[in-house]
Amino acid sequence: MLYCFAYFAKLIMSKENRAYLSLGSNLGNRFYTLQKAIFEINRRGGKVVKISSIYETPAEGFEGEDFLNACLLIQTELEPLSLLETILSIERSFGRERKQSEGYESRTLDIDLLLYNNEIIHTDTLVVPHPKMHERAFVLKPLADIAPQYYHPEENKDIRNLLQQTKGREKLRKSPLKFFKDRSSLFAQLHFLAIEGNIGAGKTTLSKMIANEFNAKLVLERFADNAFLPKFYEDQARYAFPLEMSFLADRYQQFTDDTTQFDLFKNFMVSDYDIFKSLIFAKITLQEDEFNLYRKVFNFMYKEVKKPDIYLYLYQNTERLLENIKKRGRSYEQNIPFDYLEKINRGYMDFIKGHPQQNSIILDLSDMDFVSRPSDYESILEQLENKILLTRF
């Protein structure tokens, strides 16, 4: 009996509240700032349930760039004052410091708590509903997208009717851009993420982690059964050309099979290799005449394969690579020369520098451990997040 009472008491105490927020920005990269703020709200304030369309609005009452505005519905366990403090903390993290008597001015980020359930709150620090929301078209228009029939508890009208009587709504311009509720929905905009790196850099481990967390189709390089690989490590000059040709044939076949078969139940693809690695390794291992022949075959194949939206290169210094190789214990890798790994690192760097049009990230993992330290893994995800936002939107 006591257990049941405690269970229901917990349910009541953890009741999620519905809060509506207004967001705006007219400084810097407005879309980027607002999208990052939404992710922070989702992490710290409450689950983002709905997002309005984005509207561009002229600055009013002062000279400044146009604003981007939007509204959110969140489900939150925070009480109103705690939610307000969280909002203000998020604003400060984006460089916004509210003044005691703040007038109209440009701002990097503006977040207002408009509505909290159907409550009316009047304190020295918080007024809900927001005292000016019913006068502002740039608030009511996006709010009408997600709560058109919400009844304003003090004005005694729903949001649509309040919008109809508001001046200046004709100045709002709807943006073709859209915001995403969380990182997962942003990552789902990718088609193909390639994670590359030297031998032992951690690309397969990271690919598996991302595929698991974000429901991505996992494409892994199959190379352990290559009959030439152990022989190559024993006699590179003799087995380099057959090894590289067999790798190229295998990679091309597997890569085209895996990347052309779309999985309806997955959000995107993540691979622990890109087929261009074939040319990087071949340039290191082959003689000049062999490489020239190899490149002709490669160029023909490369035209046909899918290119990644983002190319993430994991850099590890050579000492760290040798440690990782020793730990994973593949017998045929234990005698890989130091200078061979150095050449591979240089080869990848040359490739990235020689292809500036490719959407690349170079990630130095020399002092990171994304498997054992969650903060390091989070840092990698944040860099991916930023790359998507800054290049695609």
Nearest C-alpha neighbor of 31 from the set 383, 391, 389? 389
For tokens 């729903």, the residue is 158
How far is it, in rounded angstroms, from Cα 17 to Cα 62?
A: 36
C-alpha–C-alpha distance, residues 280 and 319, integer Å: 21
Q: Is 158 a catalytic residue?
A: no
CA distance 360 to 99: 41
Q: Which two tokens stand for residue 96?
A: 């916004």
Query: Among 44, 42, 52, which Cα is nearest to 74's?
Result: 42
Q: Catalytic one among 110, 272, 274, 309?
A: 272
Query: What is the β-pairing status of strands 269-271 and 310-315?
Result: unpaired
Residue among 257, 253, 261, 269 at smallest CA distance from 301? 253
Q: Which helix (H) or strand (E) holds 266?
A: none
Tokens 């020399």 label which residue? 366
Residues 6+ away with beta carbon under 8 Å from 160: 144, 148, 149
- Name the residue among 280, 288, 386 with its Cα closest to residue 341: 280
Residues in the chain: 393
Q: Where are the beta strands (DSSP E) in 63-187?
A: 67-76, 110-116, 121-122, 127-128, 173-174
Beta-carbon neighbour count of residue 98 at 10 Å?
Answer: 10
Specify the residue for token string 């760097």. Answer: 349
Strands 269-271 and 192-197: parallel
Q: Provide the annotated active-site residues.
A: 272
